[in-house]
Amino acid sequence: MEVDYIIVGCGLAGISFAEVLIKKNKSFVVINDSSQNSTKIAGGLFNPVVLKRFTEAWQASRQVENMYDFYHDIERRLGCKLFFDENPVVRKFFSTEEQNNWFTASDKSNLSKFLSEKILFKNYDYISSEFGFGKVNHSGYVDTFLLQREYSKFLSQKGFLVSETFDYNNLNIVDTQITYKTFKARKIVFAEGFGIHKNPYFNYLPLDGTKGELLVIKAPKLNIDAIINASVFILPLGNGLFKVGATYNWNDKTDLPTLEGKEELITKLEELISCDFEIVDHLAGIRPTVNDRKPLLGQHPKFSNLFVLNGLGTRGVMLGPDMAQQLYNFIENGIELEREVNINRYVSRLLS
């Protein structure tokens, strides 16, 4: 079978690139073994502001602009709702100083469209809010579990998905074409998340990975119409269910839930809400994070038809569509990648 592209991985990165290829009428096949579950268990929040410092996330304006059409197109393609901007992120204030810092930030030209100028004084039952909340415009969440499940079904029905572990020993590379088992392709894009460490071509890249744990709770008395951001986030899922997260562990590289993570989330949640709740589920995964907090895009230094799309990290919902389009433009149209994301910044690691 001959295709334009082979994509390895079907998380946010792989799905984003596949969607770009569909729109550009390129043929492809996705190879995925579901070994990486960060997309399935992700909080899925999109938020253009770093709320610890009240600063704009890197290239957030452009990413937000690209994001809406991207996910709405996927919704129409899959016939399901997975993009939610009806319940925005609201930042709980703990002091007058935080309120003042918010006002100062909202006056900046690059943040005025994202930070509401008015303090939201809303009495949510069982959540104290003496100093109110700050509303973040253009924020919400994507149901990443539903996205991955339904997009995988769509790919499978079209014959575009091969559910197996990629075998690097079966990859043969020539100047103008690569072959993998029964497939021939012009290019291959590796979008494996934390699985990149098993990839002999790109494992030199410094994708560290950060473990994150989440809880799904049932709290029938809790009635909120926004995503509360404090020491943890509380995301309403409907029917009295809420997603609560997240932890950050830079040392544990397993995707197994831990007692320590659970206790950390419970402690922070009990500091935020005063009603009873029941833990319905406890999830864990490894975020594909890079030390410099920028994605990994580009072409292998030695093999011109091997490419990588990885390192989307905690903002994968926003970064995925934009980075996939940028990588496509680089491959097909020769448009240079942004210096901050180009893997050329790490070429010395391969050559040393």
Residue 259, phi then psi, degrees to nearest 5: -65, -40
Per-residue pLDDT, 174: 86
- Mean pLDDT along residues 35-45: 77
Per-residue pLDDT, 347: 82
Domain boundaries along the sequence of the chain: 2-42+145-205+291-351, 210-287
Dist CA 114 CA 33 (whole Å): 38
Instruction: Find the DSSP H helices in the chain.
Output: 12-23, 38-41, 60-78, 96-106, 144-157, 259-272, 316-333, 347-351
List of residues 6+ apart from 139 with CB closer than 8 A: 45, 46, 47, 48, 49, 85, 88, 89, 114, 227
pLDDT for 100 beyond 80: yes
pLDDT category of residue 176 using cuts at 50, 70 and 90: confident
pLDDT for 141 beyond 80: yes
DSSP string, 253-280: ---S--HHHHHHHHHHHHHH--S--EEE
What are the residues facing 286 on neighbouring strands? 211
Per-residue pLDDT, 351: 63
> What integer best gives the mean pLDDT of the chain?
94
List of residues 6+ apart from 212 with CB closer than 8 A: 38, 41, 42, 245, 246, 247, 248, 249, 284, 285, 286, 287, 314
Query: Which contiguous run of DSSP H or E holds residue 180?
Result: strand 178-180
Q: Cα dist. 339→2, 5, 212 in Å? A: 33, 24, 28
Q: Give yes or no for a contact between 169 and 198, defined as CB atoms under 8 angstroms apart.
A: no
- Mean pLDDT along residues 230-250: 95
pLDDT for 311 beyond 80: yes
Q: Which fold has domain 210-287?
A: D-Amino Acid Oxidase; Chain A, domain 2 (3.30.9)
pLDDT for 283 beyond 80: yes
Helix (H/G/I), strand (E/B), else coil: 29:
strand
Which is higher by pLDDT, 314 or 341? 341
Dist CA 285 CA 144 (whole Å): 13
Per-residue pLDDT, 43: 84
Helix (H/G/I), strand (E/B), else coil: 28:
strand
Per-residue pLDDT, 236: 95
Which is higher by pLDDT, 156 or 349? 156
Per-residue pLDDT, 42: 81
Dist CA 133 CA 118 (whole Å): 9
User: Three-state secondary structure along 74-131?
Assistant: HHHHHCCCCEECCCCEEEECCCHHHHHHHHHHHCCCCCCCCEEEEEECCCCCCCCCCC
CATH class held by domain 2-42+145-205+291-351: alpha beta
Q: Which of 9, 147, 127 is nearest to 78 (CA)?
A: 147
Per-residue pLDDT, 333: 96
pLDDT category of residue 37 using cuts at 50, 70 and 90: low
Q: Give yes or no for a contact between 248 and 43, defined as CB atoms under 8 angstroms apart.
A: no
pLDDT category of residue 71 using cuts at 50, 70 and 90: very high
pLDDT for 350 beyond 70: no
- Mean pLDDT along residues 26-50: 87
pLDDT for 352 beyond 60: no
Determine what percent of the chain is predicted with pLDDT higher than 90.
88
Q: Give yes or no for a contact between 222 and 240, defined as CB atoms under 8 angstroms apart.
A: yes
